[in-house]
Amino acid sequence: MKKNESEKSVENNVEKLDENVISSEVVAEVINGDEVALAEQMERTKALTKEQQIKAMKNAEIIKAKQKAEEEAKKQEEKRIQEEAKKRIEAEKQAEEAKKLAAQKQAEEAKRLAQQKQEEARKLAEQKAQEEAKKIAQQKQAEEAKKLAAQKQEQEKISAAQNQNSEVKQDNQNQPPVKNDGPSTFKRVMAVFLFIALFAIVYFLPEISDAINKFKESRKPKEVITDGVSTCKLSRTSENLDITTIAKFSIINSKLYKLEYVTTTTGDKIEDEEELKKINDECSLLKEYAGQLDGVSITCSLNNGTNTTKQKLDFEKLDLKKVTTAYTEAGGVYPEFKKNDNIDKIESKMKSSGYECTRS
């Protein structure tokens, strides 16, 4: 019984020992119950256990050193990642600052250009008003001169007729009274007067016809377009560029619901290439910004020395609270008009700024 238990214990111990340390002969001796072999084996087992402990301690130290190295490497990696993140944040901050400065500079430039455009529009409107006043004065002066010439011609004809009547009357007084069956002096005077009147009517017939037509036109009720498009146009010229702005107001029952601004800038394809490209780049930036707004659509084109910028505003979708000054600083036209504004007031305001407006 004891032998069986001893054999089982030895088998268990043998399974745990390294086969490279315990040979098959020793295992056989232990199984056969050789006490000397068993004692020797126990000594070897103790020595082996100490070696394993030493080896385990060394392995533990190696593992600990490896773990420490790994932790140190991990710390270094985390430090490197933090430094890179810090550098990236600093770079992003600098880029944002540069972008902010560029946007501020661009906004100042856009503001300066807007003020310049307003000043040019004002000067153009003043010049146009002066030319119109000059034209009206010249027309009035020509009409006055024509009227005076006609009056003078009529007076000359009347004087000639009076002189002729005086001569006839004197001849009649100098001649002895004779029986005369011809026309009387009164009839002659009337004939001359009718001749003069007929000549005046023929001479002033174009003016008379024009006056009659104007009178008829003024008596006719004018047709007012309340549904359609009111197109207002303004043209101006800078030192080297021709700029035309067209505003199209879409109306229903004389009330605004859509607006389109089309600005066409024309210059020399080669000499003005840089300036035209700058305008087109500003339009592209505005288009990118407008993508964040509902009811706003921007299109840009540059072809053969002509830049075209279209800004469409749909007041059915547009939220004016979201249209900040950043939009105008980026080159956009701020919607000073709003949904359901009366077109008569809009046209009056546009005309006061120098625009010419027609409805269709």
- Count the residues in the chain: 360
Measured in degrees and rounded to the nearest 5, phi and psi for residue 323 equal -85, 90
Predicted local confidence at residue 42, as pLDDT:
74
pLDDT in tens, 119-175: 776 777 667 767 766 777 677 677 777 777 777 777 777 766 666 655 555 555 555
The residue with tokens 């001169």 is: 145
Closest listed residue to residue 261, CA positions, set 233, 284, 226, 287: 233
Which parts of the chain have pLDDT scores under 50?
Answer: 1-3, 10, 14-21, 178-181
Predicted local confidence at residue 16, as pLDDT:
47
Give the residue extent of every domain in the chain.
228-359
Predicted local confidence at residue 20, as pLDDT:
44
Predicted local confidence at residue 125, as pLDDT:
66
Read off the pTM.
0.41
Round to whole Å and give the CA distance between 74 and 317. 55
CATH architecture of 228-359: 2-Layer Sandwich (3.30)
Residue type, 238: S
On the 0-12 / 13-18 / 19+ scale of CB atoms within 10 A, 114 is middle
Which residues does residue 265 pair with via DSSP β-bridges, in sequence order?
243, 307
Mean of pLDDT over the chain: 77
